[in-house]
Amino acid sequence: MTPILSYVLTGKTNEHITLDSRIGVPIHTRAIFPFLSLQKEAMKVGFDLRIASGFRDYDRQMLLWNEKAQGKREILDYGGQRALDYGELTLNREDLLFALLRWSSVPGASRHHWGTEVDVYDYNAINSPTSEKLKLVPSEVEGGGPMASLHIWLDEMIDAKKAFGFFRPYEQDRGGVAMEKWHLSYTPQSYLYDESYNYDFFIQTIEESDIELKDLILQNGKKIFNDYMKNICPYPN
């Protein structure tokens, strides 16, 4: 693996990233025009498709992870409905680790480092005085949730292969990372990065880091790699 590719995979460079004023969030340079095309199609049917989170660098992911591990940020339960009791979680450090992994990626192993991943929402659904603040939780995208209509439309676009290369890596709950319908991935580039990311590289990245729960991550390396990194919905043909 070349040094440049390793930096891209771990979010330690942003040379593959562009901040386009039409989008307002940094994403992979090659994903800009596909996303703008998807955004344009969404506008035709009444959705103002926007990105809540795109590229996230290594330092930012490390801060988020460590603050959650230290109890400075809330950790959601398995279904994403409520915050867990941090004190109870620390009674068993493995419980804390896997509660974190349900909703948060290990720094250096987040797909958001690649810039190909975007968390999307419909701005129209939250742009009123009575609208609730965007949370990116399952209740927003299911049933009568404010983003449900957007995601029904996105389902149709993706199934019809009209989503300009985007798909849902976490479309289903596969027993690792929680289902995240709001998380879209630009397949032509993310597939290449995913193929390049192997177990030995993952372990090396953790060994060289200052991550909280480092000993447990290394002890459970195979499970984390297989169940929380590679256990995604199949890439579209």
Q: What is the mean pLDDT of residues 74-79?
A: 93
Whether residue 193 is predicted with pLDDT greater than 90 in this model: the reply is yes
Alpha helices in the chain (DSSP H): 3-10, 32-44, 58-69, 86-89, 93-103, 138-141, 148-159, 187-196, 199-207, 214-219, 221-224
pTM comes to 0.96
Percentages helix, strand, coil for the chain (3-state, rounded to 5) are 45, 10, 45
Strands 166-167 and 117-122: unpaired
**Where are the extended beta strands (E) located within 116-182?**
117-122, 166-167
CA neighbor of 109 nearest in space, from 200, 18, 187: 200
The pLDDT value given to residue 43: 98
- CATH number for the domain whose boundaries are 3-229: 3.30.1380.10
Q: How far apart are CA 123 and CA 42, in angstroms?
A: 11
Residue range 51-68, pLDDT digits in tens: 999 999 999 999 999 999
pLDDT interval class at 17 (50, 70, 90): very high
Residue range 146-184, pLDDT digits in tens: 999 999 999 999 999 999 999 999 999 999 999 999 999
